Amino acid sequence: MSLVVYLAAGALALSAAVLFRRPRTTAGKPSALRNPLTVSTCVAIALGAVVFLCSAPMTLAAVNDLTGIPNFGAPLTYGLLSAYSCSLLILLINWRGGPRERVRRLVLRSIAAYGPLIVAIVVLFALADARVERLTDLDTYYANTPYMREMIVLYLLGHSAVMVAMAVVCVRWGREVTGLLRTGLRLIFVGALVDVVGFQLAKYTAVVARWTGHDLDFLSTKVAPPMASLAALICSAGFVLPRLLPAAVGHWRGLRDYRKLDPLWLRVGFVSTAPKPPASWWQLPEERLHWREVAIHDALLALAPYFDDRVRERALSAALGDGRSAHEARVAAEAAMLAAAARRAAAREEPLRTPSTYRLHATEVSGAGGLVELAQALRAPLEVP
């Protein structure tokens, strides 16, 4: 069981790391550390990972040995689970948004509710007699033990309240939104439902069975843990998907355009004087694309004195004669003029006495689209008579 729980913890930690790794210099957007939604999302997912890490039997045994207190891992795990539940509420509050004062008030109320709950869990454990170490069946083994019984019920009720509240909010909010946000809310609802039915109901049933003199421990030890892992992963996907997918699509397009600019960069890169960014393997594709755009525009500016209108006009006539559209012919002609200018610059020839004042299409439009068109035209050069 430890392996399954560790895998869930690793997946959650990776989700938090990926979400936190965002561009910090994007205009008009706060950095990750200043964005309450990003911070609350990362904290909630990271806490979920820590809960799974601490709940693994191997970790519980290590914690008990380290502290010298049998079952010390129980209040630690249950306290962290309550903190995780509180973080989910705070995340949902920040995600839903609204007036700043209202959001702040709701966040403080959540902390005020779950802070005492965590303290109560620790106090109840301290008052209980739990000398026999139980790594997998503590909830059912101590279901009838004074104070331990109350502690177990308390942490379950605290977690149940959050999951039910999340399910209700997701259903209501899902009726008001569309697109990725609705998809994310549906995933969260499914995750909450899996948690309530697969984890909490299994735990409640096993504990109540012990109260009535029956043995359904397998529900608590075999069914509940994997269901909790699955529920947490689905909920995390619901929170992360609406925020990461648009960025992932943007980075994919950035990587695609970056590679499509290779023919243009290989042709003109030697004259660019744009300062190179620090090399880093974790640099995002959009950041690389932005630097390459700047460097190429710098190179085009340096090659402008070599632009020959006669080359462009001959190429334009040839392209139109081949049946290309006006726009395609213009780009092909510009590519031919640019290729000739790059050859003269590479041969260290003198610039033209009367340089062209013509502006390339790629310099008239924003974004990488114009440069990509020019690069693709250079990939298949036009034969100029």
What is the residue-averaged pLDDT of the chain?
85
Quickly state the pLDDT bin for 280 (edges 50, 70, 90): low
CA pair distance 214, 186, nearest whole angstrom = 37
pLDDT of residue 238: 86
Q: Which residue has the higher pLDDT, 272 or 188?
A: 188
pLDDT of 10 strictly over 70: no
Task: Say yes or no to pLDDT of 38 above 80.
Answer: no
Distance CA(107)–CA(246), nearest Å, equals: 27
| 80 residue type, one letter | L
* Cα-based distances in Å from 285 to 78, 92, 157, 251, 337: 41, 30, 45, 5, 30
Residue ranges of domains in the chain, CATH in brackets: 2-249 (1.20.1070), 261-379 (no CATH)
| DSSP, res 216 | -
Is the separation of the CB atoms in 341 and 299 below 8 Å? no
CA 48 vs. chain centroid, Å, equals 15
| In the predicted structure, residue 51 carries a pLDDT above the cut 70 | yes
Picking from 7-21, 32-46, 357-371, which range would have the lowest pLDDT averaged per residue? 7-21
pTM over 0.75: no
pLDDT above 70 for 2: no
Note the pLDDT of residue 124: 96
- Mean pLDDT, residues 219-231: 90
The candidate with the shortest Cα–Cα distance to 368, out of 303, 283, 288, 290, is 290
The predicted pLDDT at position 101 comes to 92
How confident is the model at residue 5, as a pLDDT?
55
Residue 30: pLDDT over 50 = no
The pLDDT of residue 115 is 94
Confidence of residue 27 (pLDDT cuts 50, 70, 90): very low
pLDDT > 70? residue 382: no
Which stretch, 207-221, 283-297, 317-331, has highest mean pLDDT?
207-221
Contact assessment for residue 53 and residue 84, using Cβ atoms and an 8 Å cutoff: no
Contact of 251 with 282, CB cutoff 8 Å: no
Check residue 8 and give its pLDDT.
Answer: 57
Q: What digits encode the pLDDT tens for the residues 98-153?
A: 888 999 999 999 999 999 999 999 999 999 999 999 998 999 999 999 999 999 99
332-376 residue pLDDT tens: 999 999 999 999 999 988 888 777 888 899 888 888 889 999 999
The pLDDT of residue 68 is 92
pLDDT of residue 25: 42
- Confidence tier at 65 by pLDDT (50, 70, 90): very high
For residues 197-210, average pLDDT? 95
Residues 219, 205: Cα–Cα separation, whole Å: 8
Tell me the percentage of the chain whose pLDDT exceeds 70: 88
